[in-house]
Amino acid sequence: MNKLALLVLAALLLPVSVQAKTKPAYEIPTLPEKEDEESLWESASKHEMRLRNSGTVFRDREIEAYLESLADRLIGDRLDHLGIELDFMLVAEPTLNGWVYPYGTVGLHTGLLVRMDNEAQLAAIVAHEVSHFMQRHTYREMLDGKKQSVLGKGLGFLASAALARETGTFDKGVMDFTGELWSNLATSGYSKKNEYVADEEGLDLMGYAGLSIDESIPAFHRLAENEAYGAGDPRKMWSSHPRLEDRISNLQKEIKKKKRKKGHEQGTVPESVQYYKAIAPALMINANLDIREQQYERARDALDKYIQAIPDSPDAHFLRGESYRMQSMRGSELSEAVAAYREALLHDSAYADAYREIGMAMRVTKNRGEAIAAFEKYLEIAPEAPDAGIVRGYLEGLQ
């Protein structure tokens, strides 16, 4: 075999990623670039559609528009030549997770939105996922893996896939096609190199948007809070082949490097209350989910944020009372519950459920007069309520 033939054979035996470098999206004229990448997009699109039809995705055009605007600020005009605009999919789920499909749809759990304290922190996570898209990391990993079974690797659907199997939170039909492909998401994410690239480029995107890169550290620390839901292993709950602790350490090093560069600007930390206003519906949805999970303090954290944004919401105050009531029917928790119910009534004097719950609390604590007054008011406002007969029975027993 001559020298030229040997060189050709050697080239053919090299991994695809070595034969032809996969350029970032902003360096090529069109996406998808090749047929195998188009096939990847089609596969991912089927997965997205199954998730959208599973009943766990909620639509809120105002939140989606806010997130799209944030992504535009992070990306600038880098993708204009491709005619691609990122969009967002919101999943009603209290765990903290985000991911991106290879064609640019970003998925975010309500739990992630709620546990961030300001726009800069959310931007740190969004920028990381946007970088995975712009660097075409899913496609790169598919080529590096040289097998179809890694098509789904790194799509970031870790929390959703893991919880679907473990708790039934999600419709298992979401994973019914090439199920093994998607089950890999529970134990593997992007390679260490690609995760670090996305972390580091994410900082650049934050800086481009004028946001403080320091806020990426508390944002990533928050991801460890998945332990509260029995899912603390970051390899199961986040696109992180490297450990979360290692990624945070790497981010800290990169932040120091960027701050030493000439011309570095500190960036802003937008007011928290403006962020809470932007994601207000997600705060309420997640508070209900956390109450269902018996995560009462987390529910109140979400409700407190909601009340900062919308202080005159009787629903938020009532739900806050419910979180205390469900946590304990005695002592200080019950007193806190009653106080929250009364706050709800300050904003809506005809809020029937608040009167009923005050009546129940006063009945338990032997405050007969207050219980009677509250029950009578409830029946006056809601005489045809499904539980009106039960409340009448309580009332008769008190009189």
Give the bridge partners for 89, in sequence order.
107
Sheet harboring 87-91: ordered strands across? 87-91, 105-109, 98-100
Q: What is the rounded average pLDDT of the residues 137-153? A: 61
Number of other residues whose CB lies within 10 A of the CB of residue 5: 9
Residue type, 308: Q
Is residue 231 very low, low, confident or very high in pLDDT (cuts 50, 70, 90)?
low
Range in 20-24, 122-126, 265-269 the model is least confident about: 20-24
Give ∠ CA 255-195-218 in degrees, rounded to 5. 45
Residue 4 has pLDDT above 60, yes or no: no
pLDDT at 241: 52
Q: Indicate the SS3 state at residue 397.
A: helix
pLDDT bracket for residue 194 (50, 70, 90): confident
Q: How far is CA 35 from the centre of its chain?
A: 32
Least confident of 50-64, 168-182, 195-209, 376-390: 168-182
Confidence (pLDDT) at 195? 86
Give CA–CA dist 2/10, Å, rounded: 12
pLDDT category, 6, cuts 50, 70, 90? very low
Each residue of 217-228: pLDDT tens digit? 999 999 888 888
Cα–Cα distance, 295 to 299 (Å, whole number):
6
In 192-264, beta strands by DSSP E: none
Residue 233 pLDDT greater than 90, yes or no = no
Nearest CA-CA partner of 130 in 279, 263, 26: 26
Tokens of 108: 């975010």
147 sits in which H/E element: none
**Pick from 176, 174, 127, 133: nearest CA to 155:** 133
Q: Determine what percent of the chain is predicted with pLDDT higher than 90.
A: 63
Query: pLDDT at position 357, please?
Result: 97
Radius of gyration of the chain (CA): 25
Residue 154 has pLDDT above 60, yes or no: no
Measured CA to CA in angstroms, residue 341 lies from 210, 318, 346, 374 at distances of 42, 5, 9, 11
The burial of 79, by beta-carbon neighbours within 10 Å (0-12 exposed, 13-18 middle, 19 or more buried), is given as: buried
Q: Which residue has the tokens 């001559």?
A: 2
Candidates 1.25.40.10, 1.10.260.40, 3.40.50.11930, 3.20.19.10; correct CATH number of 272-398?
1.25.40.10
Which amino acid does the sequence have at 325? R
Helices (H), 310-351: 314-327, 331-347
Residue 240 has what pLDDT? 38
Provide the pLDDT for residue 145: 63
User: Can you list the positions of beta strands (E) in the chain?
Assistant: 87-91, 98-100, 105-109
Mean pLDDT value across the chain: 83
Q: Do β-strands 105-109 and 87-91 pair in parallel, antiparallel, or remain unpaired?
A: parallel
Do residues 64 and 90 touch, judged by C-beta distance below 8 A? yes
Q: How many residues does the chain have?
A: 399
pLDDT of 160 above 70: no
Could you tell me the residue ranges of all domains in the chain? 15-260, 272-398
Give pLDDT tens digits for 7-63.
333 333 444 444 458 899 999 999 999 998 898 888 888 888 888 888 899 999 999
Calculate mean pLDDT across residues 84-102.
92
Whether the CB-CB separation of 106 and 86 falls below 8 Å is answered with yes
Q: What is the dihedral of CA 121, 124, 125, 126, to 10 degrees?
A: 110
pLDDT exceeds cutoff 60 at 368: yes
Q: Which residues of 97-128 are buried (b: 16+ CB within 10 A; e: fewer)?
A: bbbbbbbbbbbbbbbbbbbbbbbbbbbbbbbb
Give the residues across from 107 on adjacent strands.
Answer: 89, 99
Q: Which amino acid is at 232?
A: G
DSSP tag of 26:
G
